[in-house]
Structure 1
């Protein structure tokens, strides 16, 4: 195990082990800017044990790529790791201080966790599931969705006042992808508030290690309601087929392969809820934050719409919405010269890899002229995100719509007051107050 000496970054002492431990405890300043810590980890402790997570933290690009290329040695069955809803459910089920209703909801989660899907599954099941789901994410289907994305973005702008202050997270970056995924799942408009609560419940459990008794009770109440509602919807779709994502998944067939079961479908819907909703919200809000801090960048995108595409890629690299995921060693192995015993977890720090100075020139700078396609924001290899291109198109349309229909954009609070979501796994803004004025004649 590598131990880092005391060093400095920006004049402040940086001890990778101590600082990363504080990050997992959601220290405000480190959640806001963890990147100097990541840089020191790459230099001095690229494979670093963390007691709080019970895992080795892998921070260099090439080491992470090595793991991603070898799914046989590094299992994805616990991709969400010890700081997620399933491990929390194990604790709750065994804790008699919780009500019978809460413990029953936790037990239901554990039963469903016996059916890992996509990011949490290994071959051959992963290959089967991915092939069955792929029909829902073809380029043609995504292209057909684009007018719907645009209509939602325009509607959200229409609902804003002609000028004033808005929380662009609450009023735009969050409802856009949430409305998209709700529509794909056939959720009626009058259930959007409830759908938002369900989304918050699943994401609250990701990377959170200090939830209160009340938080956990509410979390499992919401997750159980989600499973009950969509369990009934799956059954209803069998009797009354619909042309939506659930219908597509129910109809998915491959020669010689078993169709998706109800438990797999429910777990996939949870995955789509988090991966297709929360992470895209975080990407959009991060992009807007960059524009508010850099008027020249904003002017460049207004002048040349084609620059939005590299802007999306650079924000994915610099502000990776998923900062990292776990793998578990299936045999004794080693990474970067450090022995990893069988059964040991490793945490792949994608956000660090995406700023690795050995891979990227000027790794902390946004570069629209030479955007890198090597970033790991969507993973790599067989587990690369199926919804990556949907997220890219939603982000493109979101930014294009904002800069075409709003002007005089600026932060409505001092920059240090901008708050991030308290998580070391999901990176995104909690709020982003923004001043604006609608333009008279949008392009």
Structure 2
């Protein structure tokens, strides 16, 4: 396989980013392939992806977010002779904090210790207590545009619902919502984008630094004035025989909760509604029976995975699908491809609600690093869609289908906007 097969994806060609699945399908016909542009092997088959995810020893998560995420970019900028003194100070702080590998980037046994310490904040019981709040937020957001007859569902709902929920969980006041969103965008702007300019990097690291300043103060506050929020849980988490979380560990966890709580759930919500408005038969079916929403969410997670794939690093020479992978090599595990592999999912590229709740897709990963926030994302998507369908009728796309634009990102897969028209349910 030649590198040109992935050129459109990594160069962020809008049509390829919108629908990378033909690229993935062709890639699954052959073994994992080295791609110079990504500086990684691309792994697309279900069995190969799962074999890596199940082996946290042979495949390290140290660079799980990939070569264009914040820490690798900080390393690159620290060696750039043209970087300003301000930028250097920002990246040095990031590098210092990132020396504490955390959850997504941590390997056993460190990952096991951290997971034990934070599990309390993500239990089924804790998530269930949030359902009334998510209902209230969903209704309040819809009421802001209900009389307009049209909405950009991404900007006015899909962004704001999960952002408000995670902000409340972390104790961030409503007055800081715009700043909170800016921080979230800044942590993800490089992930899945290999083409950032120095000006974009300056803005990104400035936001990152402000995030650290704010939450360092909040951690200090929670040590003496605990509240009923996740940040307090992290600060005071204790287990027999385990060291408490350090400040740097907490800051890194907050970054991951921020991104997972905002970007990925936003993309999921928008994808579910886009799927419905482009399939009238499916819309009618789900309107008739809201219990189908759970299955629909699972199928959209499989078919339009908000995170198209994460990375691992081989700790020793290995062979995957007939390809020899040298020790130290980076691998991009393409969940978005594995989730459509007919060897694991007979429906392949087709949406199939039957049995969707029993199928185990890879949108949240698998094994030791399965996403902590998966129950929260599922609950927000279910309630958000249910509330939209309860209050909005005759929902239609307010642009030509080919004019729907996607984020310029090959890792985070989501809509930039979703313009809709509708009538109020009477």
The TM-score by the shorter chain falls in which range?
Answer: over 0.9
**Deviation at residue 229 of structure 1 after TM alignment:** 0.3
**Deviation at residue 292 of structure 1 after TM alignment:** 0.8
**Deviation at residue 21 of structure 1 after TM alignment:** 2.4
Residue number in structure 1 paired with 2:34? 49
| 1:141-192 CA-partner distances (Å, limit 9, x unpaired) | 1110100111110010111141322110000000000000000111111111
**SS state at 2:410 partner:** coil
**Deviation at residue 246 of structure 1 after TM alignment:** 0.3
What's the TM-score once normalised by structure 1's chain length?
0.94
Establish whether residue 367 from structure 1 lines up as the match of residue 352 from structure 2.
yes
Establish whether residue 387 from structure 1 lines up as the match of residue 387 from structure 2.
no
**SS state at 1:163 partner:** coil
> Could you tell me which of 115, 134, 139 is aligned with 2:100?
115
8 Å CA contact retained: 1:21, 1:50:
no
Residue number in structure 2 paired with 1:9? none
For the aligned residue pairs, the C-alpha RMSD in angstroms reads 1.0
1:221 and 1:83 map into 2 onto residues whose CA distance is 17
> Could you tell me which of 376, 398, 415 is aligned with 1:412?
398
> Could you tell me which of 22, 25, 28 is aligned with 2:11?
25
**SS state at 2:276 partner:** helix
1:57 and 1:217 map into 2 onto residues whose CA distance is 30
**Deviation at residue 94 of structure 1 after TM alignment:** 2.2
1:101 and 1:236 map into 2 onto residues whose CA distance is 28
**SS state at 1:135 partner:** helix
2:188 and 2:370 map into 1 onto residues whose CA distance is 20
2:125 and 2:287 map into 1 onto residues whose CA distance is 28
8 Å CA contact retained: 2:397, 2:420:
yes
**Deviation at residue 72 of structure 1 after TM alignment:** 0.8
Residue number in structure 1 paired with 2:21? 35
**Deviation at residue 98 of structure 1 after TM alignment:** 2.8
**Deviation at residue 359 of structure 1 after TM alignment:** 1.1
Give every structure 1 segment of 4 or more consecutive aligned residues whose post-TM-superposition deviation is greater than 6 Å.
none
1:280 and 1:110 map into 2 onto residues whose CA distance is 28
**SS state at 1:56 partner:** strand
Residue number in structure 1 paired with 2:315? 330
2:180 and 2:6 map into 1 onto residues whose CA distance is 33
> Could you tell me which of 338, 348, 354 is aligned with 2:339?
354
Establish whether residue 301 from structure 1 lines up as the match of residue 286 from structure 2.
yes
**SS state at 2:311 partner:** strand
1:131 and 1:335 map into 2 onto residues whose CA distance is 31
Residue number in structure 2 paired with 1:269? 254
| 1:251-297 CA-partner distances (Å, limit 9, x unpaired) | 21111000111000000000001112100000000001001101111
8 Å CA contact retained: 1:312, 1:392:
yes
**Deviation at residue 250 of structure 1 after TM alignment:** 1.2
2:320 and 2:81 map into 1 onto residues whose CA distance is 41
> Could you tell me which of 270, 278, 299 is aligned with 1:314?
299
Establish whether residue 376 from structure 1 lines up as the match of residue 362 from structure 2.
yes
**Deviation at residue 37 of structure 1 after TM alignment:** 0.7
What's the TM-score once normalised by structure 2's chain length?
0.98
8 Å CA contact retained: 2:44, 2:335:
yes
The equivalences for 1:208-227 within 5 A come to: 208-227=193-212
8 Å CA contact retained: 2:63, 2:105:
yes
| 1:107-132 CA-partner distances (Å, limit 9, x unpaired) | 11111110111110000000000010
8 Å CA contact retained: 2:223, 2:236:
no
Residue number in structure 2 paired with 1:202? 187
The equivalences for 1:421-440 within 5 A come to: 421-440=407-426
8 Å CA contact retained: 2:31, 2:322:
no
**Deviation at residue 96 of structure 1 after TM alignment:** 3.5
Residue number in structure 1 paired with 2:245? 260
